[in-house]
Structures are given as C-alpha cells and as structure tokens.
Amino acid sequence: MATTAPISQPAIQIRGFASYLRDHGFLIGLAELDAMLHVSLLINIEQSRLLKTCWKGIVCSSSGQWRKYPDLFEAYWYPHKVRGSSKTSGVERKGKTLKQLVQDMHASMEQQGGKQTDASIGLNFEGQGEDSASNQKSQGGASRTDPLHKDFKQWLPEEIHQLESYITPLEQRLKRKLIRRWRKSHLAKRIDLPKSMRQGMATGGEIIKLQMKKRSDILPRIYVLVDVSKSMESHAPFFLRIARALCQMLHARVFVFHTRLAEISSLMKNNSGRVQEKINAVTFGFGGGTKIASNMESFLKIYAKRALGRKDIVYILSDGYDTDPAEQTRDAIKAIRNRGAALYWLHPTKDIPRSEAIELSKQYINEFMSVDNLKSLEKLADLGHQTFH
C-alpha cells in the first residue's frame, strides 16, 4: 500500500501519540490508528478534549490500560502540566497542543476539498516501523536507566530451544488436569444429542450411532510476576526470558514490578528485538526499592480480582528483598493462596532467600525453586507435582 501522498502534520502527531502508547504496552495497529483519525475529523474544534474520551475507547483494551490512559494522554499532549519527567519512551513530540492539532486537521481537510483520505493522513506505515520509531528516540529515559543490561537479542536459538524444551513438559502436565465435571469419572461419556440427530439424517432419521461429546481441556491460568528491581538487575533479563516463554507457550500473563506493578503480556507476545527497551519504558520512573507486598495486593485487586481461581498458578520470580513490612507480604501471599491458586517462588540464589518477608510467608508458598541457570529449569514441570494430580 505504498503511496506518495503527503502526510499531514496532525496525522504525524497522532501517529506519534499512537507510537508513544504502543511503547506503554497498548495494542495499536492500523485499524486503531485509522479509527483515531476518523474520530478526530468528526469532532468539533471546540470539543477537542472530547477526543481524549473517544480515543480512550479505541486504544484501551484492558482495565489496566483504562486506568493508565489519562496520565499518558496528559503527559503526551500537555507535558507542561505534568510535573517532572513525563516522557518514558523517548518519543519526542514537537509543537502543537491537541486543540491546535484538531484545528489543523480540519483545515487540511478543507484544503483538500473535504476529501481526507487514509493516504493523505499518513496511514502508510512503510518506513514507519520500529526502526524509524527508534530514530526518533534521541534521549529515551529507558535507555539511560536500563536496569536490564543484557538484551533479549543476545540469546542464541539453541538456548531458546532448550528453554522451551523445559516448558513443554509443564504444558503437557497442565493439560492433564481435568475440569470438574469430568473429574469424577474421566472415562464417562456424555451424549451429544443434536450431533446424533444430525448424523441420523444420513440414515433416514434413524439414530444408528450415538455421538458423544468430546472432553475439552481447560488450561489453568498462569500468572508470572517478575521482580525488576535494582537487586535483580543481573537476573531480570533471564527471568524475563523465562516469562516470555511461559507467555508464548502457555498464554501466561506477565507482570513486572518493583515499586509498582505493570502488565507486559502484550509485549511478551511479540518477537520484537525491542522488547527489552519497551519493558524499560514501562518500568521507567518506578523509583527505588521493591514493594512485593503492595504489588501482590495490586495484582490481586486490579488484575486478578475475579480471574484467579483454584486451578490457577502464580509464579513469582524474585530474590525476596522487600521494603514493605514482612507481615504485609505474608498477608498478601496468603490472600493469593486463599483463592486456591498455587504459588511458586523462583529465586536466583542457590538457597531459599532468607529475607524476613520470605521467612514469614514460607508456609503459604507452595514451593521454592532455585533458577540460577538454564538447566535448573529442568525441574519446572515437577513443581507442584501434587497439585497437578
């Protein structure tokens, strides 16, 4: 879809905003960008603030993004109102306010005889991929405060293959878990009456053979929480790589935390080489310290309020150093276990972390596992052997 039509300035700025949101984990493709531009043209100049609401509906796809959007919008379009550092992705925005931008779009449309086409408003993405976006990053905070110095790209294919080979047995084991209605007798069959009648049509309406319903495997939901605090600096890239494999193979939801918690599942699903940079953009400005307890509470209240149940699994990848009170950590971990989910603690040290928080919470953690090298993941499928059966 190459086009030579000039790209208007407002469209470039909206594209910049979309790129900025993408760096914060929003899923914005051509269709979303098209809808953003479409809506911009429908709104009166006087109501340019209405765009905020309209775009919110288009770009958000989860409650976390819904909550994050107002801050990102203000930070991008009204940076002078935001105290301190407002840019986390490094995407630069030059010039106009949102109101001016809408005005320009309308003017541009009028100049072209009211025929604003997709091409003219810059929907040609050739050359606007990640490379060109990265060209715009002159002084991204992420690259300057990179806590995860080893890049994802440094992994060799055979290492990735080895990692995946450790997760495959886990996948097999999880599939064997039967849903409740089949648990009493997994051999019991259930008649599929509509299907039987459909098949019966071939024999003049006589049902010769009963058709049975097939058993459906429902995988438990898996949540992976990766500590990316300063103390985990050297281990976080490895742990994130594990999280990524779990996300891609078992559809796990992945979160990173130190002072705050952020979901990065969407970033983990892509095989982009810039995942590292994007994660840094998401976590930039989190501040110092590790608040395991507060993050567990946020996880439970915001992300897993209703979606954490008996057969689900939570992996915490952390060294256990916590600035929250140890009792609070214990209560947060207990609350997760009270939902019936299994909780496994993967630590980078050979021995179980000896922090006060871990000592107090030990009884509520199903199992600990040391993950200090790739081979140690061999035992991942054996974690919670009893839970699976």
Q: Which residues bind other proteins (CB under 8 A)?
A: 27, 29, 31-32, 35, 38-39, 42, 50, 53-54, 56-58, 60-63, 65-67, 194, 197-198, 201, 204-205, 216, 221, 251, 253, 266, 269, 305-307
Position 12, amino acid = I
232 or 304: whose CB is closer to other proteins? 304
Among candidate residues 215, 236, 212, 214, the one with its CA nearest the CA of residue 226: 236
66 or 78: whose CB is closer to other proteins? 66
Rounded to a whole number of angstroms, the minimum distance from the CB of residue 191 to other proteins is 13
Among candidate residues 290, 312, 301, 300, the one with its CA nearest the CA of residue 236: 290
Q: For residue 342, what are the β-bridge partners?
A: 313
194 or 288: whose CB is closer to other proteins? 194
Q: For residue 347, what are the β-bridge partners?
A: 370
Which residue in the block uniquely carries the two structure tokens 């494999």? 245
7 or 35: whose CB is closer to other proteins? 35
151 or 192: whose CB is closer to other proteins? 192
204 or 288: whose CB is closer to other proteins? 204
Distance of CA 344 to the CA centre of its chain: 20
Rounded to a whole number of angstroms, the minimum distance from the CB of residue 309 to other proteins is 8
38 or 150: whose CB is closer to other proteins? 38
Rounded to a whole number of angstroms, the minimum distance from the CB of residue 15 to other proteins is 17
How many CA atoms lie within 13 Å of 163's alpha carbon, on the beta-carbon side? 21
Rounded to a whole number of angstroms, the minimum distance from the CB of residue 265 to other proteins is 8
Rounded to a whole number of angstroms, the minimum distance from the CB of residue 245 to other proteins is 18
